[in-house]
Structure 1
Amino acid sequence: MSQIALPLVVRRRGDPARIVLGNANRHVADALQEPAGWPFGTAVLLGPPRAGKSLFARWFAASGQGEAIDDADRLDETALFHRWNRAQEEGRPLLLTARAPAWTIALPDLRSRIGAALTLEIGVPDDAMVADLIEAHAAQRGLALGEGALTYLVPRAERGFAGIERLVAAIDRLSLERKAPATMSIWRDALAAVMGPEQQKLDFDPPN
């Protein structure tokens, strides 16, 4: 499992905080380590909920390489434009995070500045990253998934960061409620709880 140190994310007990890297976000980690190459010293990070945008922003700010503004798409546009200007005057790289799809900006001056920035987007995790995320969330909860869990869960899990987190939370909850280890009956019921009728079809027509 490939990881980088971050201020807050899924963690193993006693280990420093980490974020799981994979196909969907490795390019983001690489770009954040080279802010000198950003156009006008600015990068915009887009991504779905729970994909780690805020965590990347915290890591970047903590690294001392520049300033990060999380949820920039929710801020007053005039105030954000002033902060962009201040970062330019100080020569400090500026990372902005926003929700995907593309951020819509009404203020023309701000829109032109943001439009010229480097755009980074967190993508959809592939099977290898889904497996790593399931393992990482389980480790954070101290949850033993049981033998064969990834083989069963990965092909059936939602391909989204929030969905993967909900799945592991459901497995943990059911295991605690039933006072039983997480085995196939719990995996199946957790999938049904978070994915609904789609999971029933998968169970009758399992992937090769």
Structure 2
Amino acid sequence: MICGTDEAGRGPIAGPVVAAAVILDPRRPILGINDSKKLSEKKREALSQEIKEKALYWSIAQCDADEIDAINILQASLLAMQRAVEGLGVTPEKVLVDGNRLPKLIVPGEAIIGGDGLHECIGAASILAKVERDRQMLLWHAHYPDYDFARHKAYPTPGHLELLQRFGACPIHRRSFKPVRRVLGEID
């Protein structure tokens, strides 16, 4: 009953930060779990489905752009992980967290830098969070096609920054992030 948790979406300038929590079943191994950033999109998609089918418990939670702006991205990331752990429906014995900070937990936890490449349960959470966030950005692309969210997933690429400059901020842009504040005229 060891839970892994991780988030996806701290760096983008739009959309939610998404977290997942996973308790794997040692009797049903899943080959190929790793840090989601080290896997192709196709491999992440396949592993995400397998994790959902074979894990004992899994949960996905998030904080949207308004919450991120209200409490900052670090606190929103921790809150999303807390929500994911609480959404498991069971109380794990321990929570392993990717990174150097722990969310608020009612059970023992351990923060592990690079944990998504070291512990399968954290890697599994990394995959679920990344796949869900990318899926949401495709949905947002349908609402706001001018911003090309399907391509850059709201990371501050040169193309995204150019579109942000041209069209201004849309409702899912994080207004507390410098590139968005600059477009809104809040900073030079």
- Taking structure 2 as the reference length, the TM-score comes to 0.30
Q: Of the two structures, which has the highest relative contact order with CA contacts closer than 8 Å and spacing of 6 or more?
A: 2
Q: Highest CA radius of gyration, 1 or 2?
A: 1
Higher helix share: 1
- Taking structure 1 as the reference length, the TM-score comes to 0.28
